[in-house]
Amino acid sequence: MYLSLPFQNSQSRRITPLPSIMRIEDQIKQAAFSSEWRKLRANLLHTSSWLRGELAQFLKPFGITQQQFNILRVLRGQHPQALSTQQLRERLIGRMSDTSRLVDRLQQKGLVCKEECSKDKRLVDVTITEKGLNLLYQIDDKMPILDEVMQSLSLKEAEILNKLLERLRRNS
C-alpha cells in the first residue's frame, strides 16, 4: 500500500510503508538478538532511520531539509521574538553544531532574518520571515498525509508508546 501525496506541481509523492513483516530480525536479516534490550535498540534505530527518510522525501518538494524544517518550526513557535543561534541549537530535535550554516542557507532563501544581538555582539538573533511562515503553512496543509504513516497504531497505542519513549529518555 502506498499513499499518494499531490503537490502543487501536479507530481505525486508516495510514502513508502514498512513491509508488512515488521519483525526487526527480518528487516535487518539477523537471526536473533542476545537480549530484548539490544533488540529494542536496533528496532528504535531502524525505525528512526525509516522515519527520517520519509520526512526527507516529504520535505523535498518544499526545497528544505529536515534540519532546516526543524529550525523553522522552532522559530515559528517563538514568533515574533528572535532566538540566538545558541538558543536555537538548544531547542532543536537532534542538536547539531552547524546551526549557523543552516541559518545562513535559510536566510539565502528568504525564510529567516539575521540581526546582530543588541545585548551580546557575539550572538546573532534569528527570526522567521513571512515567507518562512507561509512555507510552514504549506507544509502544515500536507502534514496529515505524512501523519498517516503513524496511523497503523491506534490513538491509545500512540499515547502508550509516547509515554514509554519519554520514560526511556528520562532515565538516561
**Sign of torsion over alpha carbons 134, 135, 138, 140:** negative
In contact, 72 and 85? CB cutoff 8 Å: no
Query: For residue 17, what pLDDT is reported?
Result: 53
pLDDT tens digits, one per residue of 125-151: 999 999 999 999 999 999 998 888 888
104, with CB counted inside 10 A (0-12, 13-18, 19+), is middle
Whole-prediction pTM value? 0.78
Average pLDDT rounded to a whole number, residues 1-14: 40
* CA–CA gap between residue 111 and residue 97 (Å, rounded): 20
C-alpha 8/C-alpha 2 separation (Å) is 19
Confidence of residue 95 (pLDDT cuts 50, 70, 90): low
What percentage of the chain exceeds 70 in pLDDT?
85
Q: Give the CA-trace dihedral at 43, 46, 52, 53, to 10 degrees.
A: -140
Cis omega before residue 144 (within 30°)? no
Tell me the sheet residues that pair with 27: none
Residues forming beta bridges with residue 84, ordered by sequence position: 125
Please give the order of strands across the beta sheet that includes 112-116: 83-84, 124-128, 112-116
pLDDT of residue 172: 66
pLDDT band at 163 (very low <50, low <70, confident <90, very high): very high
pLDDT, average across residues 60-81: 94
- What is the structure's pLDDT at 169? 86
Residues 6 or more apart in contact with residue 91 via CB below 8 angstroms? 74, 83
Query: Would you say 96 and 67 are in contact if contact means Cβ atoms under 8 Å apart?
Result: yes
Of the candidates 156, 14, 22, 165, the one whose C-alpha atom is nearest the C-alpha of residue 93 is: 165
In this prediction, residues 95-107 reach a mean pLDDT of 86
CA dist., res. 6 & res. 76, Å (int): 25
